[in-house]
Structure 1
Amino acid sequence: MIAETASSPIASASPEALGLDPAKLERACEIVVSHIAGDFHPGAQLAVARHGKLALYRGFGNATVDPSRPVDERTLFPLFSNTKVITAAAVWTLVEEGKLRFSDRVAEHVPGFEAHGKEGVTVAHLLTHQAGFPAAEVTPECFMDRERLRRAVCEFKLEWPPGSRSIYHRTAAHWVVAVLIEAITGNDYRDEIRKRVIEPLRLTREMFLGLPEAEDHRAAAMYTPRQTEKWPLDPMVSAPLFRRSGIPGAGGYATARAMAVFYQMMAQGGTWGGVRIVSPRMIDYVTRDFTGDLVDDYTGYPMHRGLGPFSLGQSGHPGLGAIGHPRTFGHSGVGTSYCWADPTSGLSFAFLSNCRRDNAWHNKRMDTLSTLIHASILG
């Protein structure tokens, strides 16, 4: 078990005190250990929280393998698409300030975005992956150049009419969200996300969009499945630009503890540590199922997307646990991670690892772990 320190953003309590079965939590840890022993990934973190307290926070294996560096409580893992919900949370705050509506057309705030037929794209389209340009890309030279980035997203071209289909926008939609945040606030989107979400949660040491060079020593390396004795580094993540740029839909870094806190905030109706991030009504709204049984053409199944996270729904969702309450909501990170909250029980969960497995195996792993965590609820 990772020990609680004075700098921890959340107090700890025993599983029993939080109404959780410690044997179920321990079994989840045993499965993670078995996956590391089976060479599915070098290292991981697992965190479980309930009712504002941390029931479990454990590190496993190695953050880096050459040289060997164990995972500890301060290890930061790449979040990949878990970043999308953090970015979306900044949008929620703008809506609550009356500076934006989910029904607003992006072009109302970003002049020029209407080019190539995009005048009908709304904020809700972006957050539910129905914007119509899933294959659009932003080149690396735009990552740290605000004006270049704005021009790049304005040049995105529609592949189908907005709102007519659901197809996962890997990074394109959230690059537009970043430009939208900058257009409304006049500030760099990374600074706004830090100010609006990360700082109020007291996570400035455990959650980053744009990892400072001074924190590189804490970052877990990301690997691809090994075929020989050596673990191959993921070339995208190992590039300094990836760490610095804070790609709004894929480039965050955090600890599992930080992600458990982020989802505790949502499980508690938008408030953490006496600080209100957004209202309970906002959390209820953005975690609703806006796409229902509409099949996402990228994943091949209904995603039950909200305005940031997706939900388990009545028909289920890979990775969120078969026995979870339908209101359970969260997000995954490509083949590596999963974070979620169950607002009906006050439970939040975060698993982060450092090898990009295929999604079929990853979803099966996460369904097993998430089901165990749901089963740990005693009442």
Structure 2
Amino acid sequence: MFARQAALAAVALAAAVGLVAGAAPATTRPPTGRFDQPHRGFAPPWTVLRRGTPEQAGLDPAPIRTALAQEDAWTRPDPGTGHPMFSGQVTLLAHDGLVVADHASGYALRYADRQGDPLPADRQIPMRTDTVFDLASLSKLFTSIVAVQQLQAGRLDLNATVASYLPEFASHGKGAITIEQLLTHTSGLPPDPSPPLWQYPDLPSRTRAILDTTPRNPPGSTYLYSDLNMLTLQQVLQHVTGRPLDTLVRDGITGPLRMRDTMYNPPASLRPRIAAEEYEQGPGEPQRGLVWGQVHDENAWAMGGVAGHAGVFSTVADVAVLAQTILNGGTYRGHRVLSPYWVRQMLTDFNGRFPGDGHGLGFELDQRWYMGRLDSAATAGHTGFTGTTIVIDPESRSIALQFSNRVHPTRDWGSTNRARRAAADSLADAMAVRAPHGVPSWYSGIGDSSAATLTVPMTSRGAALSVRYSTFVDTEPGADQVPLESSTDGGTTWQPVPVTVTGPGAPPGAQAALSGGTRSWWRAAAQLPAKHGMLRLRWRYTTDPSYTGRGVNVCGVRVSDDHGVLFDGDRDPGAFTADGWTLGGR
């Protein structure tokens, strides 16, 4: 049975994303597999997802294999908690149009009650790669794309007030809230309706409650993630088009992109393929029993399953098509849903005044807490409460999807952010960083709360020293540091050496420690005063307790004085003492 399920899942994936065996089409540029050659534009518009191996994509398969094994392990009970991180999961990874991982583990249906008592084995349903998930807040991306389509068509104005379309929305001081502020979560609206919408008697009263909300902050003053932004935007879209949101999504997104497994309110016949969710039977909850095949979010359920903030069901294969459409600049298989200009607006940070809360017109930007080592200022994505995650990295043209039914059987089993990051991290780690001119480089990719040192001794001849080297730095900005240090007492004490770097996006001026990075190699230079005797130089890479980048590479180390070259690291790599660094590493 499982073999047949796997075969059916493979067919479904092929149908959804257009996977074909063999080499890429001749019109598609070969994948680079490089992390240090960031793209600055969209992928070719003809790029179509197709099945491939990590090796065919120029990737190291080891990090991907390790991450998938870890995702599998998280579906098994943890000795400390007695339960798994999640009942089941599906991970899809793609790079330069090649789907290099499409992996399911665990169970779509597993538990008999909220306490986690398992169902009989013959009633449990294994997770499949074509399992349909409640996307939860990933639904906001669909609402946002519909809104941007209306902006593109001229039916909406980004700077117009919501009240100019829905005059009744102006109540309680909301008259100045704009369409842009809804899309970027800067409207000042509270996070959720209060009381929850399901406590109102009917759909008209629930709609009135949305429009009658009292704001929490003045518009434009604060970033506050809010479902009410998208519930309000839904009402605007339905007003200006005269059509319900599910029709707009079908006609404007899922239909043209042939996302056949993406919908609101899936039919009962699809239930065996849908990941089960929570048992809702506690105090203060609607008494729904096992939520399975209906939207989990109570407010979306109260809106009939079609809501601006939640309600979309889909598979990793279909969502991968949507992600590749964004990478392609708004088109897939000849069907354009957005112009390149408006895709760029979805990926442009409108929230520069709120550091750490980057947001385009719909997509979250630069969120390392779930984007992991794929994170950059350009990386876009979103998460969903039910356990869904999308990460789109335009700079490497990569997609990382990690879907789980983490709320089955209860929402109280904790965070799945480690699993979200693991998927993205594996794709970043699988890409190569190759030193200029093909020389070997020293690489350190240590984890959280770690330190790695690369040390070299030499004898100074009493003249001022010039130190030059090339470095690739991808760290958590500001938190993880890569200083160059010197010691003249045999390594007992160390002093920072100011370093000046040049290259794309290099930090200005002299830096005592490098941090951050732009996925580009930098040329570094430093000066040391004249001194006779033994000298040690070291590069010390340290990380804080959370979130590490792709890592650090150092090569081309040359130390010179007025008499010539004192040390050439490429010629004498054996002179280095490496702790946490490897020569020739990725």
Fold-level similarity (TM above 0.5): yes
- 1:149 offset after TM fit, Å? 4.7
Which one-letter code corresponds to 1:290 in the other structure? Answer: F
**Aligned match of 1:40:** 85
- 1:220 offset after TM fit, Å? 0.6
Which one-letter code corresponds to 1:351 in the other structure? Answer: Q
**Aligned match of 2:502:** none
- 1:144 offset after TM fit, Å? 8.4
Distance (whole Å) between structure 2 residues aligned to residue 219 and residue 96 of structure 1: 34
The SS at the match of 2:169 is coil
The SS at the match of 2:15 is coil
Which one-letter code corresponds to 1:220 in the other structure? Answer: A
**Aligned match of 1:19:** 58
Residues 43/185 of structure 1: CA separation in 2 closer, same or farther (3 Å cut): same
Higher strand share: 2
**Aligned match of 1:128:** 184
Distance (whole Å) between structure 2 residues aligned to residue 28 and residue 210 of structure 1: 33
**Aligned match of 1:8:** 16
Deviations 1:232-286 (A, max 9, x none): x996845846576133212221111222221111111111111111011111111
**Aligned match of 2:126:** 70
Distance (whole Å) between structure 2 residues aligned to residue 211 and residue 77 of structure 1: 10
**Aligned match of 2:351:** 291
**Aligned match of 1:82:** 138
**Aligned match of 2:427:** 373
Correspondence 1:187-202 to 2 at 5 A: 187-202=243-258
- 1:89 offset after TM fit, Å? 0.8
Of 53-62 and 40-49, deviating more is: 53-62
Q: Does 1:174 align with 2:213?
A: no
- 1:136 offset after TM fit, Å? 4.3
Equivalent in 203, 218, 223 of residue 273 of structure 2: 218
Equivalent in 322, 339, 342 of residue 279 of structure 1: 339
Equivalent in 200, 215, 230 of residue 158 of structure 1: 215
- 1:360 offset after TM fit, Å? 7.7
Residues 234/57 of structure 1: CA separation in 2 closer, same or farther (3 Å cut): farther
Q: Is the 8 A contact 1:211 1:245 kept in 2?
A: no
Quick one: higher RCO (CA 8 Å, sep 6+), 1 or 2?
1
User: Structure 1 residue runs of 4+, over 6 Å off?
Assistant: 141-144, 357-360
**Aligned match of 1:364:** 418
The SS at the match of 1:25 is helix
**Aligned match of 1:311:** 365
Residues 323/253 of structure 1: CA separation in 2 closer, same or farther (3 Å cut): closer
Residues 104/323 of structure 1: CA separation in 2 closer, same or farther (3 Å cut): same
**Aligned match of 1:49:** 94
**Aligned match of 2:323:** 263
Q: Does 1:246 align with 2:306?
A: yes
Which one-letter code corresponds to 1:157 in the other structure? Answer: T
Q: Is the 8 A contact 1:335 1:362 kept in 2?
A: no
Of 251-260 and 240-249, deviating more is: 240-249
Distance (whole Å) between structure 2 residues aligned to residue 260 and residue 26 of structure 1: 20
The SS at the match of 2:271 is helix
Structure 2, gaps ≥5 residues long: 1-5, 20-50, 78-83, 111-118, 280-286, 434-586
Higher helix share: 1
The SS at the match of 2:74 is helix
Deviations 1:111-135 (A, max 9, x none): 3111121111111111111111224
Q: Does 1:334 align with 2:397?
A: no
Residues 193/307 of structure 1: CA separation in 2 closer, same or farther (3 Å cut): same
Distance (whole Å) between structure 2 residues aligned to residue 105 and residue 124 of structure 1: 9
Deviations 1:310-334 (A, max 9, x none): 111xxx5311013533311100112
**Aligned match of 1:230:** none
Distance (whole Å) between structure 1 residues aligned to residue 397 and residue 358 of structure 2: 21
Structure 1, gaps ≥5 residues long: 225-232, 296-301
Residues 19/144 of structure 1: CA separation in 2 closer, same or farther (3 Å cut): farther
TM-score by length of 1: 0.86
Which one-letter code corresponds to 1:49 in the other structure? Answer: A
Pick the structure with greater CA Rg.
2
What's the RMSD between the two structures over aligned residues? 2.7
Residues 208/257 of structure 1: CA separation in 2 closer, same or farther (3 Å cut): same
- 1:186 offset after TM fit, Å? 0.4
Count of residues in Structure 1 that have an aligned counterpart in Structure 2: 359
Which one-letter code corresponds to 2:144 in the other structure? Answer: A
The percentage of counterpart residues that share the same residue type is 25
Of 345-354 and 318-327, deviating more is: 318-327
